[in-house]
Structure formats: C-alpha cells, structure tokens
Chains A and B, each alone.
Chain A
C-alpha cells in the first residue's frame, strides 16, 4: 500500500495515489473544525460553505507543498484564514466598524492603563451562562480578536502554531490573545448582568 520504494520521495513529490491518500488521511478528519472556524469567521452559512470548499480544493491543488508529518490541521487553518482575508473579508457583511490596526494601536497605547484593568466579572456568573450566550459574546468581538480565541481556546492550537497560521510573531499572539480576552470579559459581563446573574 505504501509508495515509498522505487521513486525516491525525499522531495515532496506526490504520485496521484499518494495525493488522494494524504488528502483523505490527513485533511478530511479536520473538516468539522474547519467548517466551524469558517462559520465563526464569516458568520454566514453560505460563506462558510464556500470558504471550506475553496480551502479544501486549494489544499488538494497545492498538496505538494504540504510536508507529511507536519501538522495538517494548522496547515489547513492557515489556508482557510488566508482565503478568508483575500476573498471574503472585503465583501464581508460585517459592518466595517473599526480598522483592526487601529484597534490594536489603541490597545497598545493603553498598555499603561492595563495595569489597573480589571473587569468586574465573577466565575460563578460565567458558569451560569449557556453556550449561545458565550458564543454571542465571542461573535461580538472584532474578527482578529475573535480568531485568536477560537484558535487557542476552542481549537487548542499552541502559540507557535497560531503564529504560523496567522503569520505573526509569538509575542504578538500572546498580546493579542490577552487583549482579546479582556474584550471578551467585557462582553460576558454585559451578558451576565443583563441576565441578572451578577448581583
């Protein structure tokens, strides 16, 4: 069944059979995660469908640049994220509220006030929230902040994998995640208090 015999496959040369084999074995098991990622990025079922399809077709077409033995899930997520930025973000239905750079700069400049930054939210109040409320709070974040939380807390990627998926340094992963969580806490707090969970 294995192919590594006559042809020396030290390079990424894929025979046709191997392309299908790798695709099925390495890529297909991640399709549910990919679909959920696409849906949380686009917030739209049709766009999510297209995005997942495009990503998988691209992955197949460029399969020779996938190194076997490396993390297929991270590789796929990176393609999906790039497709999202290039093809979907422009026509995204999300109101073009704040430019992301602007948000990050604002937060960076408030580094000093970070010291006193605490959100008045108790763990018990979070415990009471149901999945939809947590999802709504997450969805209310600007997409780049939403993305790091999805990758880290929902999909369980390491900081190093996130850095590769997002093409940013690990230090930026850390700080973006930190800010994303502060924003999320604010959203969660307003949910908690509107539900009357908070005293």
Chain B
C-alpha cells in the first residue's frame, strides 16, 4: 500500500510474486504468533503487513495458528466453579 519502506528485502519481493518457500520461516512464526497475541512491536507489524500476502507458507501458518488459538479459546469447555467451594470459602473467611 505505501511504498515508503526502505528495507531491501521488501523491494525485492515488490514484484508481487507469491513465494512458495520461506527462507526465514522460524522468524516469521514468531512474528505471526506475536501478531495473533496482540503483542507485536511496530517493526514486526510492518514486516507482517509487507510480507504476509506474498508468502504461501506464512499465509498457511497464520491460518493454522489462528485456528488453534480460536479453538483453544472457544471450544474447550469452561466449567463453573462448584457451589460447595464457593460456600466453603465464604464461610471460612467469615468465621
């Protein structure tokens, strides 16, 4: 979108060719997770914005990581705390 970036790696891929392999995938995985955790630095966000739509392994990894995170959050049943525990706590702190 904006062409004001300066890193050479970005200009290299600027020809909009989809990459089928990612030579720094381990690094990208860390960025992808930081993005999904809402903990990415500005530099990581920039890298993500500039590269994510060009690299197939990264796009797939992003989908997978997001899907796992969502599954953990939505699918695992959260049990309510049993009333008996609640009652014991309340009676103990009141005694």
Contacts and interface: CB of A to CB of B under 8 A. Distances in A.
Interface residues of B, number: 37
Contact of A123 (B30, B60, B72, B84): B60
Interface residues of A, number: 46
Contacts of B68: 126, 153, 181, 184-185, 188
**Main SS class of interface, A:** helix
Contact of B64 (A23, A53, A123, A177): A123
Interface of B: 25-26, 29-30, 33-34, 37-39, 57, 60-61, 63-69, 71-73, 75-82, 84-86, 88-89, 92-93
20 contacts: A31-B86, A32-B78, A32-B81, A36-B78, A36-B79, A52-B85, A52-B89, A53-B85, A53-B92, A118-B57, A118-B61, A123-B67, A131-B75, A134-B75, A134-B76, A135-B76, A159-B39, A174-B30, A177-B33, A184-B68
Given A20-B93, A53-B85, A154-B72, 15 more contacts: A32-B81, A34-B81, A35-B80, A36-B79, A39-B79, A57-B93, A122-B60, A123-B64, A126-B68, A131-B76, A134-B72, A134-B75, A153-B69, A158-B39, A178-B30
